[in-house]
Structure 1
Amino acid sequence: MVNVRLCFYTNGYQTWMWDDTFYPERRVSSFFSKSDLEWLIQKRTERKNTTEYKPNALIAGRIYQIEAITRVAETYEKSHRHALLVMATGTGKTRTAIAFVDFLKRAGWAKNVLFLADRKELVSQACGEFKKHLPSATTCNLIEDKDDPSARIYFSTYQTMLGLLELDLQ
């Protein structure tokens, strides 16, 4: 039996990737670079079981925040690629996101993160909060900095991100 590690296939218009060890096939925008492929392979061996980690209660310590992070991590552990948290105003969405990013990075599940918001003020606020709670993480506000290849956590509005994507397509 052939052990397929990563398989890319295309019809000339769409490209798909199949990772036989964890996720089902999915549509991707293009073939991966060598460094992206190396990261995928490295992540397979270095990714930890999320049950071995607990969310940082100093960042997001409310019971429902910890529960939300734990449940999303369980969802990812079951080979799902998407999860949605719906939280009301004042419930600590940003701090939950910061604690979740910290959780995923410590467990070896995330390398880069994109934080999207609908207003510049929210992007600036979130960037400041991430710097405050994760001071060792390198950040880049795409509204102000435009690009920092050394950053691991990026911040942007939807509109700015769409503009950057349009520039890349030209």
Structure 2
Amino acid sequence: MQKFYTNENAQLTQTLEQLGRVMTLYNQRDFETDTALLALLNLLETSYEREKKDDLKVWIQHLKMEFVTVQRGVNPFTFEKLITGKRDMQSTAYFRILQALYAKIQHQFNQNVERLQEAQVLVTQIIIAGLQNGMISTELIQSIQNEQDIERLWKQLSTDSNLLLGQRRVLLMVSRYDGWILMADAINALKNS
């Protein structure tokens, strides 16, 4: 079963917003940065555990280990206990953690967007092919109002073997729900053009 990319991107957008708030605290040298960063790491760890993404959960735990080591006043690379410069070391470690979080989450988001865009192209081609071979009409497209209409159109298009093959390619890329959302977007674009 394919994952629901549209839903995952909505969650990643919320995570990026939370990360942005922590980055703002970091940039302002706010003393609450450590609390906010640890809360974000805990939230991500719980989220990845719930979604059974063990590789990402372990990665977050690694970042938390670095965070906790720095909080104890120990350099996470040399393992020396620092007496002076502890705040600078914390600041540097927080920066590295924030940078790593941003890079990973943004990369996931971009991969999902790319996959959705590829599927969008296929869905649009399926609809256009349905229009060209007379399976559907512009009046039918104009009459689509809700998700049941979209599901009905999806099933109607699947009666043609070539379009069914295209639909299967879409479903190999994204979930059925993503396909319906992409179909709704394509239909709205056709209605407005």
What is the TM-score when the length of structure 1 is the normalising length? Answer: 0.24
Indicate the structure with greater helix content.
Answer: 2
Greater relative CO, 1 or 2 (CA 8 Å, sep 6+): 2
User: Which structure has the bigger radius of gyration?
Assistant: 2
Indicate the structure with greater strand content.
Answer: 1
